[in-house]
Chain A
């Protein structure tokens, strides 16, 4: 019986292997010109939802007007230079002689068309870009007029959702069909829940890629993804489990890349009146009660940087002198006592009710459960009772929008465009569409509104430093971990470097033996 079953399984796996191998025969015959990459998220190239359009940028099927280099400095993309010609107007000089993958020409009209399509199709884009009007002055000159003086515009134009789509990307009704861009990689094929294939664009305006083809395999399970690399099924893995890092580093067959990149795991507090975290003293106390060193060790095997402030200290805009938190139960006890709580034995109470937090998170990222669980456990040790619930992202957001929570543990990439405006304005401003935290601080709003109008310089730095100080002391969040981006490859794959924005593979520099 068992042997028959084993035989059956063998037959199935042989058949599957044969099916998988067949379409690849030609590629394999050419040797090492195809790189197979296993990803945690599905690429979904046939949709341009904001989260997914990141793939177009990170895979470089499409280009942005402005790009970020490996030091997070602005560098030319499809625009070669830019200047602010009046407080509200930016003028971009566009690259000449660039064609889209379908052969059509890239010019100011094309850029205008694409940005207008993006703003029409993605509601978040108009908040991000703050654009009043886009004008094609000449074939190579694009003028963007903003609603108010807006210095963050070139930075925002590095955001993946501003990638430039060719006209052929849309059907006659203006709906998105497939990505046709100017990037070094041309979209070739997509198989649902399985893979997305891109091939080299020989007519690319920059340095052409070394590889012939890249296959993005969708393997959401973290153990399976690492295993795919170990068995040789894929050449490259993005988002390795922290627990696999040490093991694979020690193995000569693999190269592990672990570098800091944009990204913060934090607990977003519900500052509304129905939550105990309405009181800033309680929010500060929670910040003092979680030892981030232990958290990073326990939840992430040490792969991450303990976060005591919103921006990591290396971020150029990070406030230099910030009243950072540290693990300090004594001070927390003082604050809780001031807030009217008393410690009855091991638990904090007020009017006979224990201080209890309902913590929500989502399970599609493997790190969320251990981070939330460790935070909850550390709070419990300090006498705050917790109730942790894991949902899907949508399920969690539903409860958050109803204000039916105390803490939601989330991951965002606030440093992604190299400018603090991105996250401070879109998540914490009291009028922001994504501010579900019921937190409103007029002083903070004023600073963030002012910051985006100021030229880069001491005044802008100081404005954002003040905003960060408010974020720190009024504490609508508890920063937990600054991300360390982890990827791994077979040895023989060379030229890869972790991009600090966290959303850029740069595989055009990669080669494989």
Chain B
């Protein structure tokens, strides 16, 4: 917890930030520890106890199949956030790699790839992901792949542009003059210097991917009907929306809260980065060494 707090510099609104970080940490902890925190197995059907209103022992009631909504929310969080993290990681790695290549090498590969990225980014990402998933068939892997396929370009463009800015700077020229290899320059000098904006971007992109993934699940792509997944839970509860609105509200509000907190985390990191000229080394210090 101390580590999470120390990410934020003590400011007048530090307390608020700590609350947010605390909330996010709680949510993440509950999601990670779902098997311990959840009172019921997420898929346990009990038709005789269907559509029970919120109360005890079913904190958020049960759904149309008699499954415990609270337990499902927690397990769903594992699936949704886990999937989103995978997509962010894959996109960031692909995007950074290709962005570095483009930014540092330039020339026709750069031209080609950047035109491609621009082409992709003028089209609505979610629609493209739907088309990809539609063509390749249903399945979790397909949706993850589709989201990565539309998302990596954001990273590639960011990294490429920042590399262009950085490589004109004196320290890079000095390293080149000293005869450092390209690989070493990118690895030791360029990447640490662009890490901060990249991290900020990752936080925002995580919230986008969570929304997109839940959206695609809602539309019936990705996970099977009946799977504990936030978007899918909303879709499954739609038929009972009028009589039992909490079945839709519970996953809906959870998504909203989670995405907002992740966004605020992104803001926090962004502020922190902008306020000091930070590179990866100092970032590591801020995260891992509690400030006095």
Contacts and interface: CB of A to CB of B under 8 A. Distances in A.
Interface stretch (B164-172, B235-243, B274-282): B235-243
A377 B240 contact: no
Contacts of A223: 238, 241-242
Given A298-B50, A374-B65, A390 B243 contact: no
Contacts of A213: none
A372 B225 contact: yes
Contact of A243 (B47, B236, B242): B242
Interface stretch (A14-22, A112-120, A192-200, A381-389): A381-389
B220 A243 contact: no
Given A370-B64, A388-B225, A377 B45 contact: yes
Contacts of A301: 64
Given A298-B65, A390-B220, A241 B47 contact: no
* Interface secondary structure of B, over-half rule: loop
Q: Which of A298, A363, A378, A381 counts the most chain B CB atoms within 10 A?
A: A298
A298 B66 contact: yes
Q: Which of B43, B225, B226 counts the most chain A CB atoms within 10 A?
A: B225
A369 interface: yes
B217 to A, nearest CB: 12
A110 interface: no
A406 interface: no
A369 B52 CA distance: 21
A55 B43 CA distance: 41
B177 to A, nearest CB: 53
Contact of A363 (B220, B239, B243): B220
Contact of B239 (A370, A378, A390): A370
B236 to A, nearest CB: 8
B141 interface: no
A145 interface: no
Contacts of A377: 43, 45, 65, 226
A388 B224 contact: yes
Contacts of B220: 363, 390
B138 A297 contact: no
Interface in A375-401: 376-378, 380-381, 387-391
Nearest to A390: B220
Interface in B117-139: 138
B243 A297 contact: no
Interface string A264-308: 000000000000000000000000000000100111010000000
Q: Which of B50, B138, B236, B242 counts the most chain A CB atoms within 10 A?
A: B242
B64 A298 contact: yes
Nearest to A361: B225
A363 B219 CA distance: 10
A301 B65 CA distance: 10
A55 to B, nearest CB: 25
A298 B224 CA distance: 17
Interface in B31-47: 43, 45, 47
Contacts of A376: 224, 226
30 contacts: A222-B239, A223-B242, A226-B242, A241-B239, A243-B239, A243-B240, A243-B243, A246-B243, A294-B47, A298-B45, A298-B47, A298-B64, A298-B65, A366-B239, A370-B64, A373-B224, A373-B225, A373-B226, A373-B236, A376-B224, A376-B226, A377-B65, A381-B45, A387-B224, A388-B224, A388-B225, A388-B226, A389-B224, A390-B138, A390-B220
Given A223-B242, A370-B64, A389-B138, 19 more contacts: A243-B240, A243-B242, A244-B243, A298-B50, A298-B65, A299-B64, A366-B239, A369-B225, A373-B224, A373-B236, A376-B224, A376-B226, A377-B65, A377-B226, A388-B224, A388-B226, A390-B138, A390-B225, A391-B138
Interface of A: 222-223, 226, 241-244, 246-247, 294, 297-299, 301, 363, 366, 369-370, 372-374, 376-378, 380-381, 387-391
Interface of B: 43, 45, 47, 50, 64-66, 138, 220, 224-226, 236, 238-243
